[in-house]
Structure 1
């Protein structure tokens, strides 16, 4: 196992090494007042590569003026190109390739709140989930991250929730507690046109709902990987609904899932997600993956995994 990966972070070494900070600013001057000392700290840290800043082009220009070419500068629209789960994978890959021993690196990170990350309550919830779970996924790495939140762009409710995800605030909550709170919002009920199907027939069912054949096969493969979390196809009821590109499949089975990290820890193997990698593959290839433990009216525990292929 790669010692720089979140898989290693979740299974080896004591927690407490990951330094996850938050900066809130409303002007360029406030941004520089937070960012420049942080990046200078990284420049002076022994055994570390040059720090990396991932933010807007305008703020990258400010950093270039302040620090020259000593900091790696990345446009956040080049980094945050997909879902929140994709961003977790991107961060893990970056650390595996570029960090010093034990994951030593300084990263200044600002998601594109004017783009996908801030486009809907649904999106914002998933980004906050990943912000919170990062404290567990990267716990054993000696990585220092400063997450930037611009009050001119990030909605107030996002900043309030972000405080709950960062240990350097007085509002911090353990990731299990925060993710449980996020999951208190119930999933919408399946629509009247939802239909029962099987894993073997899912690709055809998705094609009937407008997905192109390659996408229908990828969707079916992603749902099959999710079914493994519930003990396989024989245990789970599978329903499908929606039309392309937002086709949805839901798997339900009796029992409890219990692990908020399910599907966020990358398996060892090829860097690109491939079938056989379980819920990791599902999260990397689909727009949304909801994993819930609920209870039927008669008290029966129920596991639900809902997968949406497109947005």
Structure 2
């Protein structure tokens, strides 16, 4: 059964409730597995409407659920699998505040990937967007990433929808920012990456990463370096530096990596570890942000981990 993925553009709390309350009631009436992932204060407003004993709706604060695009995809997959054979009815309002440009691009990619990851799940997803507070760019991207649209001007098929491959390619097309002059460098060569792991671990600790995120950065850097040695073109190298609150580690080689045509590669777990993309999926779970860019000067994978992340990164 095909998925229904609809963007809902609303103006205020009354407009929000006028659509979301009937939507959730319809899910309950059809014996669907109903989940509402919404930020405050709208979460409390919905709870008040559906207050009562034995309420079957799962209410979740978006601020807790929408922290990391790949982990959020994984968590929604878990919801769908746990609910089977019942159909999932999700009210899913992403968090768009507090992200920089790079993170915003990853959440745009996430909304687009939903259409592929859950294409045959039969799930229903209504994604509210507050047109009164969100930047116009975010609202415009909502129209590009949802096949269906509900607004004061339109209801039904969304003619501005763009396929996930095109969206993902655009997310990776931006110019690569340079490294600072004080970035520390380590050449990457040989099958034994013990020196690399020690190098990254020591610098991560020096830059103030807590133990768990530092260990995850070491594991992610090791995976990317091993892939560069196996599939890239020498010479390969690693750079590490601090960028504000982030510790950044970049691994590069002289090869020109071409992204696979499947937009899911590296964003969901392959069925087996032998399939392409398993390592990249693990890397994306381990760190806060992965940026991959290739050009005439080689292929570079940049890993960023925040020193103040409240949730330890991990698979």
Query: Does the pair score TM above 0.5?
Result: yes
Match of 2:104 in 1: 124
Alignment coverage as a number of residue pairs: 277
Partner of 1:113: 96
Matches within 5 A, 1:81-230: 82-97=67-82, 99-101=83-85, 104-114=87-97, 116=98, 119-168=99-148, 169-197=158-186, 198=188, 199-200=196-197, 201-212=199-210, 214-230=212-228
Superposition TM-score, scaled by structure 2 size: 0.78
Evaluate the alpha carbon distance shift between residue 209 and residue 76 of structure 1 in structure 2; reply closer, same or farther with a 3 A threshold: closer
Q: Structure 1: 5+ residue runs without aligned partners?
A: 1-15, 270-275, 297-301
Q: CA deviation at 1:133?
A: 1.3
Equivalent position of 1:242 in the other structure: 242
Q: Which of 25, 42, 56 in structure 2 is aligned with 1:40?
A: 25
- Equivalent residue of 1:64, what SS? helix
Q: Secondary structure at the match of 1:147?
A: strand
Matched residue, 1:304:
300
Query: How far does residue 38 in structure 1 lie from its aligned partner after superposition?
Result: 2.0
Cα gap change, 1:123 to 1:107, in 2 (>3 Å): same
Distance 1:205 1:75, change over 3 A: closer
Query: Equivalent residue of 1:36, what SS?
Result: helix
Q: CA RMSD in A?
A: 2.7
Cα distance change, pair 243–150 in 1 and its aligned pair in 2 (3 A): closer
